[in-house]
Structure 1
Amino acid sequence: MTRVDLAHLVAVRTRHPEAVAEAAARRRRRPLLGDGGRLMIVAADHPGRGALGVGDRPLAMANRLDLLERVCLALSRPGVDGVLATADVLDDLLLLGALEGKVVMGSMNRGGLAGAAFELDDRFTGHRAQDLARSGFDAGKLLLRIDYDDPGSLATLHAAARTVDEMAAHRLPVFVEPFLCRRHGGRVANDLSAPAVSTAIAIASGLAGTSAYTWLKVPVTENPDDMDRALAASTLPAVLLGGDTGDDQDATYEKWRGALRLPTVQGLVAGRSLLYPRDGDVAAAVDTAVGLL
């Protein structure tokens, strides 16, 4: 694992907070899509809404030093284009020099805390479009979960539309991650059936006054053979989201492999499955995912 000097990081944050903006200003940037025309992004924004668990480990992502070391290792692997994270994580990575020549994607709405009664009133408590533009970051991501029985979904839907408008005004790509969902026993569960994924994609594609800068971040349907039918709902470019692979990581890789062949799919954004693989080998998990592209 790549080692991070925690004492030095804290010392810089304590004595020279301006170092974050300075590192952002001098960061070497790159186009969203590289020469290969595919996108491989590591996601590390889960802690920002209190989602710390991976598999049967409820606090797997609670150790920030461990998380940073895993992300730095993932970013160092060939074929990894960049990272998706909240401001605190991205600030750390800037200070560590880990974002040079990488795509930096800010996580925008983290107010829908995991397990909260207000989870689906998912406020935009993370990056704003103006924050991403000021820092010279390359894209934003928003989560759009819709429960037809929960009035909070309407507030999130409205806020998401206005955020897409704001990102377009800055000519910044925004990755919309849409789900139809429902509460079961007090917990929010995403519907991954083909009709639900297709409907969510259609709703997300129609947000705001323009879709010119909108990308989709979509799950593989529960039946992978239905993925082409679900993605037929939009012409917007899409990336697959990773999620937790559970016990059968190889089966998850095969689902990704099939979906990555579809014409609108441009890449993969995966987090827990690569940063916390069952066998603990982050480099091997990342390399396998890169190989699927």
Structure 2
Amino acid sequence: MTGTIPGPTMTPAAQPTIAQLPLIRAHEPERIAATLAARRPGRRPRSGERLMIIAADHPARGSLGAGPDAMAMADRTDLLGRCLEALSRPGVDGFLGTADLIEDLALLGALEGKLVFGSMNRGGLPGAVFEADDRFTGYDASGIATAGLDGGKMLLRIAPDNPGTMHTIAACSGAVNDLAERGLTAMVEPFWSYTEHGRLRNDLTPDAVIRSIAVAAGLGRTSAHTWLKLPAVPEPERVMAATTLPSLVLGGEVSEDPDAALATWEATLACPNVLGLVVGRSLLYPPDGDVAAAVDAAVGLL
């Protein structure tokens, strides 16, 4: 029949390729849930162990740039290939992403034995008038539990000059509660922010990061399952002394000086309540293009 899409040329047990993902989604969508249900879970860190988590939830916010290339993450086949390379490296413990990427990578077998965190609020699109009102348009706690994930990550930009911030704070508090009720980790990524020329900017001074930590740590009716995802900034000892919550260091923008970025991460990792790294574009799109070498260098810090 004209216009029909051919079915997948594979048995249900076969490992698909990236090119076969659209066919599975079109003809066997139930295979996604089955794959996630059968996935071998990751292992929580023991005392003294550090985590290396690859993050790739940027595209769902329309944030596709990495370094000088404003559309670096636009090619999904290329992005998946980079994620596969990063996740295959020794010492990589997990992945953080939205449902579309998590489902693709699960089908490709890349999440076996990995910790997986679902990205929750992706509605604060860069440059939008509603950016500070960061709605939960990705995973919710129920979906994270159903998919067998380890927790959910939420972005909390606290912009006192933008009334949309209050909705985001309240929504993040609710998400912390919903995840805690299910025994799942709430990974909160806070920033103290401000509006400049119509764009939301993050204040990365130590005092501003400390303020953001104080607000994030107090969200919800319990913090027993809350982790923080924090930028590496000057005076890491003073910054990390602001909380007893387990914390992970985020990678941020792609640096033109990877060695300097590694040194900044290393200084923050020396703090006793820092569990490890959650890094995305800095490792997936390194200046020299060598994903494996970038990941290995980061893992070496742990």
Shorter-chain TM-score tier: over 0.9
Alpha-carbon separation, structure 2, partners of 1:245 and 1:71: 16
Among 252, 257, 275, the alignment partner of 1:243 is 252
Unaligned runs of 5+ in 2: 1-15
| One-letter amino acid of the counterpart of residue 88, structure 1 | D
- Please tell me whether the aligned partners of residues 18 and 108 of structure 2 are also in contact (alpha carbons under 8 angstroms): no
Structure 2 residue matching 1:180: 3-state secondary structure? strand
Alignment pair present for 1:67 and 2:79? yes
| In the alignment, structure 1 residue 198 sits paired with structure 2 residue 198 | no
**Residue 195 of structure 2: SS of its match in structure 1?**
strand
Superposition map of 1:10-89 within 5 A: 10-33=22-45, 37-89=49-101
Whole-angstrom CA distance in 2 between matches of 1:192 and 1:252 = 15
Corresponding residue pairs, total: 287
Q: Are residues 1:177 and 2:189 paired?
A: yes
CA distance in 2 between partners of 1:160 and 1:283 (Å):
34
* 1:36 Cα deviation after fit: 6.3
SS of the aligned residue for 1:255 comes to: helix
Partner amino acid for 1:165? N
Q: Secondary structure at the match of 1:122?
A: coil
| 1:124 and 2:133 matched | no
Counterpart code for 1:216:
L
Residue by residue, what CA displacement relative to the aligned partner does 1:227-258 show, whole Å, maximum 9, x if unpaired?
Answer: 11111111001000001132111101000011
- Counterpart check, 1:162 vs 2:171: no
- The TM-score with structure 2 as length reference comes to 0.93
1:66 shift after superposition? 0.4
The superposition leaves residues 156-185 of structure 1 with CA deviations (integer Å, 9 ceiling, x where unpaired) of 000000100000000001110000011111
Equivalent residue for 1:140? Answer: 152
- When residues 11 and 36 of structure 1 are mapped into structure 2, their CA distance, relative to the original with a 3 A threshold, is farther
Residues 112 and 120 in structure 1, CA contact (< 8 A), matched pair in contact too: yes
TM-score w.r.t. length of structure 1: 0.96
Report the equivalent of 2:278.
269
Change over 3 Å in CA distance of 1:138–1:114 after alignment to 2: same
Q: Does the CA-based 8 Å contact 1:32-1:138 persist in structure 2?
A: no
Match of 1:188 in 2: 200
The structure with the largest alpha-carbon Rg is 2
Q: CA RMSD, aligned part only?
A: 1.1
Distance 1:36 1:72 in 2: 27
* Corresponding residue for residue 253 of structure 1: 262
Structure 1 outlier segments of 4+, above 6 Å = none
Match runs of 1:3-14 below 5 Å? 5-14=17-26
Q: Quote the residue 1:291 is aligned against.
A: 300
- Cα offset for 1:5? 3.0
- Aligned to 1:143, what secondary structure does the other structure show? strand
Q: CA deviation at 1:150?
A: 0.2
